[in-house]
Amino acid sequence: MKYIDERKIKDLLVHAAKTSRADVEAILERSRRLKGLSLEETAALLTVSDADLIAKIFAAAAWVKNEIYGSRVVLFAPLYTSNHCVNQCRYCAFQSGNRDIQRKALSRDEITREVAWLLKRGHKRLLIVAGEFDTREDLLVDSYVEAIETAYEVCVGPHRIRRININCAPLSVEGFQRLKKAGIGTYQVFQETYHEETYRSLHPGGPKSDPDNRLDAVDRAFSAGIDDVGIGVLYGLYDDRFETLALLEHIRHLEETFGIGPHTVSVPRIEPAAGVDDGFHQAHRVGDEEFKKTVAVLRLSIPYTGIILSTRETPELRNELFTLGVSQVSAESRTSPGGYSAPPEAEQSQFFVNDGRTLDEIISSLLDKKLLPSFCAACYRKERTGKVFMDLAKPGTIKGKCQMNALITLREYLDDFASPETRRRGYRLIEEARNSLDEESRRRLGLFFEGIEKGTRDEYV
């Protein structure tokens, strides 16, 4: 598989197991310089088993996340538009041979209904997800663009979707250019596993059976002018430490080729799904403690990259991971087409969701930890993406903008959607955060809040 040196990664892990306690502590000290870590340093942290050192990894990850992004955590919802798929991924309920799920592709009216449901709950950011339902790229792109345009058109009172990202099939440069023109924020594509033998075994048929085409998709997206991309691993398909190092090798390739890496990295763990025999992945199951360490080490290795956590995880584990480096989370997710507005018995999910809390309940859990829920999409609309974003993130400039926009969007949510208790606690957190700002920032924030009180929505810096 291109860019991924499997022998090198395995040798690194063997050598890393011999790392001394003093060397680990030195690596953690270097991580606080916010320059990221080498593959060798990352491998050393991934092999740590001492509970005291793991606690230090967790503390360093929390510190780094706060230094880069502050206390804010961005919220979004996935919107599944189709579960038709020509691929034969053995771990996915959407695989073409699965007869246990009912196939569905949303019409324009159904997309409108789903988006309206989400808007009424307070959502502002969407991730469109669709199965690769055809081998003809023009039909795929037509479907994606129609879904994007339809979602952007939906309006509920003063509320609209502010940013749409998309997780879809790899495309040609021309196909990606059409997505960019349609107004997407981030293009996501997950390699699933970077171990070539495992990849080919788990993807026996369909366009996805070619691992290098999937790996090259991110290069093509960059070449098409999409400078915000998201990549990820489906943990549990192969050795998690190998996958993390391979992911970082992929990132290194992107940085060397295009000058920037991915805007986000997603860390889903494999979950059971209807019609799927999940026995094949038990050998590489990633336990909760190991998973927490993986997330924390990623935060230290790629400090400026957003880490996305899905509702595959339980509420209890997600609450812990909020403070270990995660910067974006899905909330109140449904993983089937029509899953929001349709009754539960009609749902045909890609995988089983373990965090079924409402958006309001998840916001409440963030407030419990003094974290700042955010629906901000300002960077996309201010063209603070790609290299521009990184140039702001590295000196810490983006942190102030993130906090200001998070406070504005949280105030909108509290005024328009929150339960009384969440509203009360949210106002208290806003006041505490506001008091920590300098005088000019407090003045500016006060002007935004005056506008919100008068009915203005969607203002940002």
Which tens digit of pLDDT belongs to each residue from 90-121? 999 999 999 888 899 999 999 999 999 999 99
- Identify the domain containing residue 10 by its residue range: 6-57
Please tell me the predicted confidence (pLDDT) of residue 397.
65
| pLDDT of residue 454 exceeding 80 | yes
Q: Are residues 30 and 74 in the same domain?
A: no
Q: Is 129 contained in some domain?
A: yes
Q: Is 28 contained in some domain?
A: yes
Q: Are residues 264 and 408 in the same domain?
A: no
Q: Are residues 366 and 232 in the same domain?
A: yes
Domain boundary among the residues 372, 390, 408 is at 390
| pLDDT of residue 278 exceeding 60 | yes
Domain boundary among the residues 374, 390, 406 is at 390
Q: Are residues 113 and 215 in the same domain?
A: yes
| pLDDT of residue 180 exceeding 80 | yes
Q: Is 174 contained in some domain?
A: yes
Mean pLDDT for the stretch of residues 126-132: 96
Mean pLDDT for the stretch of residues 269-280: 80
| pLDDT of residue 29 exceeding 80 | yes
Q: Are residues 386 and 405 in the same domain?
A: no
Other CB atoms within a 10 A radius of the CB of residue 424 amount to 12
Q: Are residues 130 and 176 in the same domain?
A: yes
Q: Are residues 409 and 298 in the same domain?
A: no
- pLDDT band for position 344 (cuts 50, 70, 90): low
Residue scoring higher pLDDT (216 or 342): 216
**Percentage of the residues of the chain whose pLDDT score is greater than 90:** 85
Please tell me the predicted confidence (pLDDT) of residue 377.
85
Number of domains in the chain: 3
Give the predicted TM-score (pTM) of the model: 0.95
Which tens digit of pLDDT belongs to each residue from 58-94? 999 999 999 988 899 999 999 999 999 999 999 999 9
- pLDDT band for position 276 (cuts 50, 70, 90): confident
Mean pLDDT for the stretch of residues 163-179: 97
